[in-house]
Amino acid sequence: MRTLSRIAEGLFDPLDTARARVTPEVDMAETARVLSVGNGVAQVSGFAGLHANELVRFSGGEVGIASNLRQDRVGVIVLGDTAALYPGQRLRRTGRVVDVPVGEALLGRVVDALGQPLDGGDRPDTQDRQPVECAAPPIMHRAPVATPLQTGIKAVDAAIPIGRGQRELIVGDRQTGKTAIAVDTILNQSDTDLVSIYCAIGQRGSAVARVVQDLREGGALDRTIVVVAGGDDAPGLQFIAPYAATSMAEHLMAHGRDVLVVYDDLTRHARAYRELSLLLRRPPGREAYPGDIFYIHSRLLERATHLRKEHGGGSLTALPVVETQAQNISAFIPTNLISITDGQIYLSPELFEKGHLPAIDIGTSVSRVGGKAQLPAYRAVAADLRLMYSQFEELESFARFGTQLDKETRAKLTRGQRVRAMLTQAEKDHMTVPEQIAVLLAATEGLLDDLAPDSLDEAANTLRAVMRHRLSDMSNDIAAGKPLTDKARARMQDTLRDALAEERNGDA
């Protein structure tokens, strides 16, 4: 017996020591195999101890997010093409969550949702990375919105002012000028320290190329990061793109920068998430969206804020865009977003058709916090602009019935039409604050009532020139944030009236 066991020892001992020396390369708990592949998601099995939202890497190099964790299988949101995946393929854990490169080096670049360049340039020279999903800054780190974000668009800056750190929704049907407002706002920052991120979600490549072209031609690309997850890209990439863009913005904000982020648009983002959720077999709710659709948008927009000085002092302003169908703003996604944001700019297809551009419906649009940040000089014109304008619109719709109008009503209509003409503004025709105030003051105070409608454009140019030259001292004061005193206002009104009269006499 003893001999036998000694033989056995002799036999097995070397094997045991050999085994101790070997570190197995494939830890079975760390790898898994693909069970099935759908469009954008894969079902895999074999992992043990996988974390929620952990990044996994397929043997072909594609990455994905572990999403539906179950005992027997895991649903993976694939951040890339699923065409290359096949059942039986191996994948492994990475122990990380999805992160993106962050830093100033990204400015001027066009990147995908993972921060990889799409503009043919080198990899951005960034030092840091940040997870795409971060907790929003706590309330105690937040300061009130106090600085205006000037869009250069009169209807917005005067009637629906936006402050740095605010979340303002741009809502409207397709082709109503939503992207134009967002891009104009980015372009208008040439003389400010604000940097921008334009995040394109689910758009056609040609549409994104046009925006990039506009930014480049307007000299704004150097101050902008363009993050693109196109309509042809995997739904997983479209889903993470706005979070990635926000992380890039947060990094800049933490270093004291004021950042504007445009999400164009969240309707398509919601659709990408719905597609993923259905493929992951999560129970569909209203309009087939999953139950957490509100949460995915609120946790994104909660990250917009103005930080206190001791926490960096920067700000993140969010301009999410949402596309409605047949003007239905009470559809699921638009109502959700309206309730999450601090106001909305509503674009109306009727105004667009009539040529009242930008097609902003002032009566339906609001800004809940921007008014506190508006430059004080606007008080001279903005206070009753909204009310006066909505009264005019109401009057106008009655006047269409061809009723006999008294003199006073006709005068009101004329005044309203002048104000409307002055609120009309072409794309990329940004106006400084003093110019906006001059033009709107002239309209609301009736300086333009006697002018023929076809001479209003010229009149507006005259008024703008007055502010640039004759009233440049006053312009500087207004831009510096000084309120417009009654005396200054009277002087402005007189100078503008004189200039218009001179122009008319010159023509005669």
């007055």: which residue's tokens?
466
Active-site entry in 92, 282, 308, 368: 368
C-alpha to C-alpha distance for 265 and 454, rounded to whole angstroms: 37
Beta carbon nearer to ligand ADP, 172 or 236: 172
DSSP string across 278-339: HHTTPPB-GGG-BTTHHHHHHHHHTT-EEB-GGGT--EEEEEEEEE-STT-TTSHHHHHHHH
The single residue among 178, 257, 268, 306 that binds ligand ADP, judged by CB under 6 A, is 178
C-alpha to C-alpha distance for 503 and 488, rounded to whole angstroms: 23
What character string, x for contact with ligand ADP (CB under 6 A) and - otherwise, covers 318-357? ---------------------------------------x
Please tell me whether residue 177 binds ligand ADP under the rule CB under 6 A.
Answer: yes
Beta carbon nearer to ligand ADP, 91 or 261: 261
Going by C-alpha positions, the residue among 200, 182, 151 that lies closest to residue 430 is: 151
Residue 177 site contact among ligand ADP, Mg ion, none (CB < 5 to 8 Å, cut-off depends on kind): ligand ADP
Site for ligand ADP in 4-33 (CB under 6 A): none
Radius of gyration of the chain (CA): 29
Task: Report the nearest approach of ligand ADP to the CB of residue 319 (Å).
Answer: 12
Please tell me whether residue 116 binds ligand ADP under the rule CB under 6 A.
Answer: no
Residue 414 structure tokens: 């004329």
Residue 427 site contact among ligand ADP, Mg ion, none (CB < 5 to 8 Å, cut-off depends on kind): ligand ADP
**What's the Cα-to-Cα distance from 76 to each of 64, 218, 418, rounded to whole Å?**
6, 41, 58
- Amino acid identity of residue 341, one-letter, is T
The single residue among 67, 89, 151, 179 that binds ligand ADP, judged by CB under 6 A, is 179
Task: Report the nearest approach of ligand ADP to the CB of residue 152 (Å).
Answer: 11
Beta carbon nearer to Mg ion, 37 or 321: 321
Site for Mg ion in 361-390 (CB under 5 A): none
Task: Report the nearest approach of ligand ADP to the CB of residue 173 (Å).
Answer: 7
Residue 432 site contact among ligand ADP, Mg ion, none (CB < 5 to 8 Å, cut-off depends on kind): none
Q: Is the peptide bond before 290 cis (omega within 30 degrees of 0)?
A: no
Cα-Cα end-to-end distance for the chain: 129
Task: Report the nearest approach of Mg ion to the CB of residue 237 (Å).
Answer: 19
CB within 8 Å of 262: residues ≥ 6 apart: 182, 183, 185, 186, 196, 197, 198, 199, 319, 320, 321
DSSP string across 120-179: S-PPP---EEEES--PPPPGGGB----SB---S-HIIIIIS--BTT-B-EEEESTTSSHH
Residue 176 site contact among Mg ion, ligand ADP, none (CB < 5 to 8 Å, cut-off depends on kind): ligand ADP
Please tell me whether residue 188 binds ligand ADP under the rule CB under 6 A.
Answer: no
Please tell me whether residue 185 binds Mg ion under the rule CB under 5 A.
Answer: no
Contact 386, 362 (CB under 8 A): yes
Our answer to whether residue 21 is catalytic in this structure is no
Angle at 355 between CA 351 and CA 356, to 5 degrees: 55
Site for ligand ADP in 420-459 (CB under 6 A): 425-427
Going by C-alpha positions, the residue among 38, 43, 41, 64 that lies closest to residue 53 is: 64
The single residue among 6, 51, 174, 281 that binds ligand ADP, judged by CB under 6 A, is 174
Please tell me whether residue 213 binds ligand ADP under the rule CB under 6 A.
Answer: no
Task: Report the nearest approach of ligand ADP to the CB of residue 323 (Å).
Answer: 7
Q: Give CB contacts under 8 A, 24+ apart, made by 116-123.
A: 118/228
C-alpha to C-alpha distance for 195 and 459, rounded to whole angstroms: 34
Beta carbon nearer to Mg ion, 266 or 474: 266
Report which DSSP code applies to 23: P
Residue 440 site contact among ligand ADP, Mg ion, none (CB < 5 to 8 Å, cut-off depends on kind): none
Beta carbon nearer to ligand ADP, 172 or 371: 172
Task: Report the nearest approach of Mg ion to the CB of residue 152 (Å).
Answer: 19
Please tell me whether residue 179 binds Mg ion under the rule CB under 5 A.
Answer: yes
Residue 172 site contact among ligand ADP, Mg ion, none (CB < 5 to 8 Å, cut-off depends on kind): ligand ADP
Q: Residue 480 in 3-state DSSP?
A: coil
Beta carbon nearer to ligand ADP, 165 or 358: 358
Please tell me whether residue 362 binds ligand ADP under the rule CB under 6 A.
Answer: no
Beta carbon nearer to ligand ADP, 428 or 470: 428
Q: Residue 417 in 3-state DSSP?
A: helix
Q: Which residues bind Mg ion (CB under 5 A)?
A: 179
Q: Give catalytic residues, as residue numbers.
A: 368
Q: Which residues bind ligand ADP (CB under 6 A)?
A: 172, 174-180, 357-358, 425-427
